[in-house]
Each structure stands twice: as structure tokens, then as C-alpha cells.
Chains A and B, each alone.
Chain A
Amino acid sequence: MKILVPVKRVVDYNVKVRAKSDGSGIDLANVKMSLNPFDEIAVEEAVRLKEAGKCDEIIVVTIGPEKAQEQLRTAMAIGADRGILVKTDTPIDLGGVEPLAVAKTLKAIVENEKPDLVIMGKQSIDDDSNQTGQMLSALLGWAQATFASEIKLDGDSATVTREIDGGLETIKIALPGIITTDLRLNEPRYASLPNIMKAKKKQLDIMDPSDFGVSYDPKVKILNVSEPPARTGGGKVSSVDELIDKLKNEAKVIS
């Protein structure tokens, strides 16, 4: 079995970001960038399947700038076998390469690579759209299992437990198919130094969006990016009695 794992370079989840003062986007100058956390979980899952003897090859692919090679190397240090960068200078966080365009690019790559399974993050923590996996499966006419917290492969199907608002749902999808990951699927390992060194030598191909005939001109224009309305927090109370008094008589939210 061959598994394709699409990944994205995003701002590190610990970073507090700011909108640029001209409202054109998020200020990413000198900000730490990482592998999107959900994608890291997707890579880890593929590596575990390989370690369990259920997968022969893991290919990671990303669409992004030259520097997105760093995230491919991170994924290869976790255990992916080779990487593909579809190189573009169009922004990938907001107002640039959109989920539909990503899905179209990935469709072309799937047609080239013919994986049996695609595992990818359910959302990227920059644009928060939560669309690409579903779109890719639609374009391919494959089945989808989103928000996975458990995956069991059996032959030509996968049984997937999904985290949904009402609890945990289990579905079975035919393969080839698409699975998107939720946080509790696994806890990604830290790559060891030898594996980081090894990853540097793994195959990494660079491709051009024109190879796939997909346009990265956005359909949705960003008119403005601003800070959310600030909360005036910081109020303190010194006892439970004072808290109850405030909730009853000031906020009037309890009676």
C-alpha cells in the first residue's frame, strides 16, 4: 500500500500572530513556521501503518514557497519516504492558494502517484477552512472519512472513528479513499537526530504548478484583515462570595 500525505507550512501553533497595520494580511516576518499540527498527526499515522507492515511507501507533498522544503524534511524525519514540493510564491495562508486549487493540484498528483490512501489534516491552523480533504475526495470520486480519531485498515476498506459534535461515529469507507485527521488520532513522535540527518538525503522533487494546469489566482479576495474586538478582561475578585455577588448584581447572569 502506498500512502500520500499532503502537508502545509503554517505559523507555529505557539505563536501569537498580529494583523499587519495596513490590513493586508497577517504579519509573518520573522515568525516561527512549522508543520501544520494536524498534518504532523497525518504523517505519524502513515508512519505507524508502515511500521505495522500495512504500508510500503509514504509520499509527502506540499504546495508552498521554497522554504516549505523544511516541512517536507520534518515529515521525512518522522518517517515519510520521499517528498514533493509544488513550488509557488503565491501566498498560502490567506488570499492566495485556496483549498479548491490545492485539491485540484493534489488530484493531479494522486493521478500520477496512484496512492491507495490519502491521509491529511482536517484543517490548517492559518486559514482554518477545513475543506481540502473533502474537496479532494469529491474531485476524485473517492469516499471520505473526516475528523478521524482511529483508523483500522482491512484490505480494500478502512474503518474510521470520527469525532463529531454528538460523540464518536464509526464509518467504513472503500479504498482508495481520503481520511482527515483530528487531534486525538495519535501523538506524533519527536524525530531523532539520526532520522533528521537521514531525512536530508531522502528524495525531494520540486514541481511547478503549471505542470498541473491549475490556476492559483484566488477566487476569494481578502479585503481586510483586522484584530478581533479586544476584550477588556483582567478583572479580579478576591473570594467566592464576591464572585457570587458580582454575577448576581453586576453581570445579572445568575439569580
Chain B
Amino acid sequence: MKILVIAEHHGTELATNTLNVVAAAKKFGGDIDLLLAGSNLSDVAAQAAKIDGISKVKTAESADYDHHLAESMAALIVPMAADYDILLAPSSTFGKNITPRIAALLDVQQISDIISVESNDTFTRPVYGGQAIAKVQTSDSKLVITVRPTGFDPVNAEGGSAAIESVSGGAPDAKSEFVSLKEAESDRPELTSANIVVSGGRGVGSAENFKMIEALADKLGAAVGASRAAVDAGYVPNDWQVGQTGKIVAPQLYIAIGISGAIQHLAGMKDSKYIVAINKDEEAPIFQVADYGLVADLFDTVPELTEKI
């Protein structure tokens, strides 16, 4: 069994989800190679080589791959796929964008967002916004899979000593070009891997009021999340959205403030270890999944909590 992990990285930082994807790869048993694509890869390659369980780190060093455009990434990976039985990527927007393109070119039915490996052809994955779990068995001989990071405990970032080898790839089959990136800048922990997430919803009422949520998060060293309603209303940027169409999080502690608990929001956070809900409506569905529900006005409780915690 030969496995290729298509790793996400941002400049010189390897994405933390890489450790979860490698954990999924390990469940198959076999040689695991890891692919990095872009410019100036030596730092990330060095980080990747240390990950526990990697045989080889393959670096495709070229500005063509800088923004991980799907067309270029497919041109690189499809020819490489001949040497592998299984291709794995995180089910982040990086992975979701690229892997179906590769799968289609290989005539493979991709399996998205797995949360367990039952055997080498059988997996579980959430469907219907996490309202059900499907156990699926594929008949494809080559597999293309995206991995939901929260489904797998990360492997050790240290302890390995993989060889680093450079590879090159073909030209893309279609034209797309990068124009610009409006990057979210923050000193806070990254949402999908934070131990604590504090999220606000429509109940918070404004971008100005949202500073209250951020103050609580900063006191706790937490990441900040939001419901779709809060993002749509412009209180916070899009990359804070938690849910079926936003980010999937499973921190030790998730604090939902002024969030009603729609199915689509629950889909992104109900695997958190502990859930706190602060909402003034005691009928709000969020309380059905909360370990500690506080029926109260957030404008009173959040400042008090921030002060006392």
C-alpha cells in the first residue's frame, strides 16, 4: 500500500491539519509520502520530515503551485498518482478545491470528509449536515479521500526523519490565475485547532458588540468563531464561520453566545468536549447540546464572565 498525503501549508508554516491527515493515513498501514507544492519549501519540508510516520517528503518547488490553484495542483498530482494506491488531503477549503479535480481525472469516485477508517475500503463520513453517519465501501482500486481533521487525533509532529526528494509536474489543462488574498490576520489560536473556541451569533447584535466576545476569548486564550448569521450581518469576517459550510471544530471547550443552535451550526461544533451556551431564550435548541447552559442576557453575563474568569 502506497499512500500520498497532499499537505496544506501557508508559506513557511505547515497546516496543523497535516498531523490529523497523517493519522488517518496510518490507519491503512503502508508507506506514507507527503507532498508539498509551492516556492521556498525548505522550511516546511524540514517540518514535514520530522512528522512521525512519513517515509518521504516530496517537494514540487515552483511558483506555478504558489497559490495551490486546482488546475496546477491536478497537473502535478495526477501523473504522480500512478505510483500510489491512496491519495489523502484535509477536507479544508485547500483540499476540497483540489481533490475532486484529481479524482475525476483518475475516474475515481472521491470519498469526502471521512471520520474513520474501518478497513482499507470502508470508511465512515457524516452526511446531512452531521445528522447521520454513513458507513461506505468503495469498489475503486485507487482511492482519493479527504479527511475531516477532527475525526483523527494528530500524530506526533516530532520523531521522524523522512528523506526529502524533489519532484516536478505537468502544465495545467486550463487557465486560472491568482489575483489577491485578503488574509485574516490574528494573533489568536487557529480556529480549527484551538483548545477553546468562543463564538458569537446574531444575538451579539453588531460588530462593535462583538468586541465583547473577543475580549472573553482573549482572556481565555481562545479562538473566536461565529454563526453564519453573525458573518452575514457583517459583524465578523467569513473565515470565522463555524458550521456545515464553515469550519468544523471540536475543541475541549466551545462557548456559544447568542447563537440559537440551528442544525447547520451544530454540524460544525457538536463534537466539542464541553459546550457552554449563553442565550436568553430557554427554548433555544443550543441548550439541547450544551453541558452548561446559562439562560441569561449576554450583555450582562459576558462582561461578568470575562472579568471573573
Question: Which B residues, 86 to 132, have Cβ-Cβ distances below 8 Å to chain A?
Answer: 92-94, 96-105, 107-113, 122, 126-132
Provide the bound-state CA to CA distance between A132 and B101, in Å.
9
Chain B residues with Cβ below 8 Å from A129 are 110, 112-113
A171 in the interface, Cβ–Cβ < 8 Å? Answer: yes
- CB atoms of A221 and B137 under 8 A apart: yes
Band of interface residues on B: 35 or more
Cβ < 8 Å to B, chain A residues 162-176: 162-174
Q: Does A98 lie within 8 Å of B304, measured CB to CB?
A: no
B228 touches A173 (CB 8 A): no
From A147, A219, A236, give the contact of B292 (CB < 8 A): A236
Cβ-defined contact, B175 with A173, below 8 A: yes
Stretch at the interface among B18-26, B49-57, B273-281: B273-281
| Closest CB in chain B relative to A171 CB, distance in Å | 6
Q: B287-309 interface mask toward A, CB cutoff 8 Å, 1 = contact, 0 = none?
A: 11111111100000100110011
Contact stretch, chosen from A66-74, A77-85, A191-199, A223-231: A223-231
B71 lies within 8 A of chain A by Cβ: yes
Contacts of A131 in B (CB 8 A): 100, 103, 110, 112
* Minimum C-beta distance from B235 to chain A (A): 13
Interface assignment of B47: CB less than 8 Å from any CB of chain A? no
Interface presence of A213 (CB below 8 A): no
**How many residues of A are in contact with the other chain, CB < 8 A?**
84
Q: Do A143 and B139 have beta carbons less than 8 Å apart? A: no
Contact B253 A253, beta carbon cutoff 8 Å: yes
Of B31-39, B163-171, B207-215, B244-252, the one touching chain A: B244-252
Chain A residues, Cβ within 8 Å of B110 = 99-100, 129, 131
CB distance from B56 to the nearest CB of A (A): 27
A155 within 8 A of B: no
Check: B135 CB closer than 8 A to any chain A CB.
Answer: yes
Report whether B179 and A243 are in contact in the complex, using a CB–CB cutoff of 8 Å: no
A-facing residues in B220-234 (Cβ within 8 Å): 220, 228, 231-232
**A145 interface residue per 8 A CB criterion:** yes
Taking a contact as CB atoms under 8 Å apart, the answer to whether A167 and B173 are in contact is no
Cβ-closest chain B residue relative to A15: B263
Let me know if A167 and B295 touch, CB within 8 A.
Answer: no
Shortest beta-carbon distance from A104 to chain B in Å:
9
A146 to B98, CA, bound (A): 10
Q: With both chains docked as a complex, state the minimum distance between the C-beta of A184 and any C-beta of chain B, in angstroms.
A: 6
State in angstroms the CA–CA spacing of A227 and B263 once bound together: 14
Residue A153 CB within 8 A of the other chain: no
The answer on a CB contact under 8 Å between B107 and A100 is yes
Q: Would A134 and B129 count as touching, CB distance under 8 A?
A: no
Are A225 and B174 in touch, CB under 8 angstroms? no
In chain A, residues 107-123, which have Cβ atoms closer than 8 Å to a Cβ of chain B?
122-123
Interface string of B134-150 (1 = CB under 8 A from A): 11111110000000000
Q: Is A59's beta carbon under 8 Å from chain B?
A: no
Contact A235 B71 (CB under 8 A): no
The interface centre, meaning the residue of B176, B228, B288, B308 with most chain A CB atoms within 10 A of its CB, is B176
When distances are taken between beta carbons in the complex, the residues of chain B under 8 Å from A183 are 228, 232, 245
Asked whether, in the complex, the Cβ of A240 is within 8 Å of the Cβ of B304, the reply is: yes
CA distance A16 to B288 in the complex (A): 14
Q: Quote the shortest CB–CB distance from A211 to chain B (angstroms).
A: 21
The answer to whether A228 and B70 have CB atoms under 8 Å apart is no
**Structural contact, A165 and B138, CB atoms closer than 8 A:** no
Is the pair B109, A99 in contact by a Cβ cutoff of 8 Å? yes
Question: Is A207 in the interface zone, CB < 8 Å from B?
Answer: no
User: Given the interface contacts A130-B112, A134-B101, A246-B292, does A167 sit within 8 Å of B128 by beta carbon?
Assistant: no
Known contacts A100-B109, A226-B132, A253-B253: A219-B175 contact under CB 8 Å = no
Q: Specify which chain A residues have a CB less than 8 angstroms from the CB of B195 in the assembled complex.
A: 253
- Specify the chain B residue showing the minimal Cβ separation from A170: B179
Which chain A residues numbered 189 to 245 have a C-beta less than 8 Å away from chain B?
A: 218-228, 231, 233-241, 243-244
Q: How far is the CB of A18 from chain B (nearest CB, A)?
A: 8
Given the interface pairs A141-B174, A243-B305, the reply to whether A170 lies near B181 with Cβ below 8 Å is: yes
CB distance from A31 to the nearest CB of B (A): 11
Report the minimal beta-carbon distance from B182 to chain A, rounded to whole angstroms.
Answer: 4
Chain A nearest CB from B98 CB (Å) reads 8
- What residue in chain B is nearest A129 (Cβ atoms)? B112
Specify which chain B residues have a CB less than 8 angstroms from the CB of A169 in the assembled complex: 67, 178, 180-182
Pairs across A and B, CB under 8 Å, 16 listed: A100-B107, A100-B108, A138-B104, A138-B173, A139-B105, A163-B239, A169-B178, A170-B181, A170-B182, A184-B232, A222-B134, A222-B135, A231-B288, A233-B288, A234-B287, A251-B274
Q: Beyond A131-B103, A233-B275, A240-B301, list 16 extra A-B contacts (CB 8 Å).
A: A26-B132, A126-B128, A129-B112, A138-B100, A146-B97, A167-B181, A169-B182, A173-B175, A174-B176, A218-B109, A219-B138, A220-B136, A221-B137, A223-B136, A243-B294, A251-B273
Q: Which 7 A-B residue pairs are closest in the complex by CB-CB distance?
A: A134-B100, A135-B104, A131-B100, A174-B175, A138-B104, A233-B289, A143-B174
